[in-house]
Structure 1
């Protein structure tokens, strides 16, 4: 390689066993953690690093990270020979918290690395169509619901003692879009993620499972009624009417059962099978429609991670939850996404201050796992539902079931 074809820079480096990750950018802050986009040095893949804001003491580390249920789901998927639309977790562990002395402070940071989904969330999708005052294409909603219902059904078949896995926080911001192929091409797939409140085994009681199904019904209606509905349902396409008048009521019917015995719960995986069958037999919609281009982030993050010319610049940067090391790297001028780590600091750092109350963070092992959808019923949805009227329901239902 000719002289001058490589340059030296500094960056924030995360270590996970033999894996090395370079900080790319912050994706956002939650109440308990920061989500960071990172570049996996060994593969040049983008991944998501999630790190707790507050350090944990030794006792708190004994509270299992709920995200680890994804390892169970991946194992069960391999045994069943299926590929459910559930987010992929590469690793999850508690690591020594940042320490400028290089010695273990006795505190820990909870860190996980997962697949990066490049299309944002269904919440972003919903807001885009609200802003445009347009309906979400029925083909998109059908694809979303088919993949989501399949994922929830698969989860119900996993877990200890047949108890299944319950997500407990199913909403639009926890469903991710992912595009394959070149930027600007293709229709996204949808993946259920953020399992921080998930439960399984003895904790996965019927009421929580019903709440997940209730969330499916609630959000299906919300996505279908994203813009004012025509007074006459016949003005909607056939697939939209099928989703609204057939699939939605079938989901709602599953939430009315009051049985809560363990024996009855073990039959719950069968509950979603009729809904899965309805979705498979849905009338063909129009061709898959392109979604707003800005939802596709494939080109947005095609550049470089955050490199610094000087080491002090790296140390002075703010907004990066650690623990991270300062790394000296050698970068190829003509291919900057491939670089070599030359040196790594012994010390670890964190340039984002704690948020919240430390004692509160460690005192509770029972998260508030789901909002009450009875109280969250959107008034605008109720108003739009009234516009549709009851007269079309009977005719369409008869048409479907008499095929």
Structure 2
């Protein structure tokens, strides 16, 4: 039985070729994410393709790729007065016709090796070092500060939950902590675009007589531990809110994983706060982290009030939070009373992270997802699993079927193209038809 793999071509001047490493690496409402490997360099990158294809209107695409347009806008902002933001890097993008009047929107992105914050915080580690959360806060706030203040108008992410924030370790494995990268800009809005949306909403309400539901009004909610609850959409006429609301609840939960006796420490701190003795609390990593989270929460409340008062105002300034978080990280990673580098939590985090990176490198060294099958089976649109037993599902193209000739060296792979026919979204064996209905 022969072995087959799946080849992607960029169809641009670079004429890059990629082999599929993992299908459905991640997915969202708008796109499916695949992991692919550059045939020439061996570099693993991300391939995003729209879940449903874009239809033309009078022979023209209705609009350019929103995510790419936002990135271009942000790259045009000067970095003279602000540090460069940590934003996901797009390698290339194209709209590729797959059927009359239908296009697959494809883009290639740098691969960030630490996974999402959601996974790193809640699935991979039992406890988290203080310095990690400190770095998370100052790096994300620094990037948001750039998005809000560096350009002619603010750009709001509007979907900055922890599944859209990525960790990235240096390729050589050096460094105590990863960097935090903001991704997925498809829902971003500029300040003027948001105001236009509000005006359209007001027109709709005046015509239909619709009244804004009370559940949509802004308010601040706190849970049992006094943590800030989820955000609410702005009322008509107000500006968009800061993106703090999307990641702050998860950050507050992650803070509970910094200490085995977190609840006891938090209750003690709460009692001091209620009795007006907060200034007398001990100078510890825990209290410093909680001070920063409190400050971030206060900024969120301030932003709600500011947005309601002035629809043309900028979001609140993060400078104080950025400096506080940088100071905490520095103190946790240098000699002194707050040094945590030899604590069980920090050592365990570093060890597990390095083991995960090593496992990842070994796994992706296989170069491609190979299927041992006949040509007919390899072209089956709903493959159940690959050679390693990993579920595949439909592969969103366009892709070309290639036959593996040699895999003597895991770093390289020899193949030959079975035919020059691109496969987009086939619904039957060898069928030239395709459909978006399966999604």
Please say if 1:303 is aligned against 2:366: yes
Please say if 1:192 is aligned against 2:182: yes
The aligned residue for residue 164 of structure 2 is 174
**Contact preservation (8 Å) 1:9, 1:331:** no
The aligned residue for residue 26 of structure 2 is 28
**Contact preservation (8 Å) 1:73, 1:155:** yes
Deviation string 1:26-62 (CA, Å, 9 cap, x unpaired) is 2033233211001122321111111112122113932
**In structure 1, distance between residues paired with 2:17 and 2:282:** 51
The aligned residue for residue 198 of structure 2 is none
Q: Classify 1:311/1:345 alpha carbon distance in 2 versus 1 (closer, same or farther; 3 Å).
A: farther
**Contact preservation (8 Å) 1:71, 1:89:** no
Which stretch of the first structure deviates more once superposed, 248-257 or 65-74? Answer: 248-257
Q: Classify 1:112/1:324 alpha carbon distance in 2 versus 1 (closer, same or farther; 3 Å).
A: same
Residue 401 (structure 2) aligned to one of 316, 326, 329: 326
Q: Secondary structure at the match of 2:379?
A: helix
Q: Classify 1:209/1:225 alpha carbon distance in 2 versus 1 (closer, same or farther; 3 Å).
A: farther
Over the residues paired in the alignment, what is the CA RMSD in angstroms? 3.6
Deviation string 1:350-398 (CA, Å, 9 cap, x unpaired) is 358866799xxxxxxxxxxxxxxxxxxxxxxxxxxxxxxxxxxxxxxxx
Please say if 1:65 is aligned against 2:99: no
Q: Classify 1:239/1:333 alpha carbon distance in 2 versus 1 (closer, same or farther; 3 Å).
A: same
Which TM-score applies when normalising by structure 1? 0.71
Please say if 1:128 is aligned against 2:162: no
Deviation string 1:269-297 (CA, Å, 9 cap, x unpaired) is x6122222222333712225452346533
Which TM-score applies when normalising by structure 2? 0.66
Q: Classify 1:189/1:107 alpha carbon distance in 2 versus 1 (closer, same or farther; 3 Å).
A: same
Taking the TM superposition and a 5 Å limit, the aligned residue runs for 1:188-227 are: 188-204=178-194, 209-226=240-257
Which stretches in structure 1 are left out of the alignment for 5+ residues? 1-7, 98-103, 359-403
Q: Secondary structure at the match of 2:323?
A: helix
Q: Secondary structure at the match of 2:251?
A: helix
Q: Secondary structure at the match of 1:300?
A: helix
The count of corresponding residues between Structure 1 and Structure 2 is 339
Deviation string 1:73-107 (CA, Å, 9 cap, x unpaired) is 2343677784422111112332112xxxxxx4221
Residue 232 (structure 1) aligned to one of 268, 271, 284: 268
Deviation string 1:7-30 (CA, Å, 9 cap, x unpaired) is x96422212111211111120332
**In structure 2, distance between residues paired with 1:225 and 1:83:** 31
The aligned residue for residue 44 of structure 2 is 46
**In structure 2, distance between residues paired with 1:37 and 1:236:** 47
Q: Secondary structure at the match of 2:94?
A: strand
The aligned residue for residue 379 of structure 2 is 315
- Tell which has more relative contact order, 1 or 2 (C-alpha 8 A, sep 6+): 1
Q: Secondary structure at the match of 2:331?
A: coil
Please say if 1:347 is aligned against 2:422: yes
**In structure 2, distance between residues paired with 1:326 and 1:187:** 40
**Contact preservation (8 Å) 1:210, 1:255:** no
Q: Classify 1:80/1:271 alpha carbon distance in 2 versus 1 (closer, same or farther; 3 Å).
A: closer
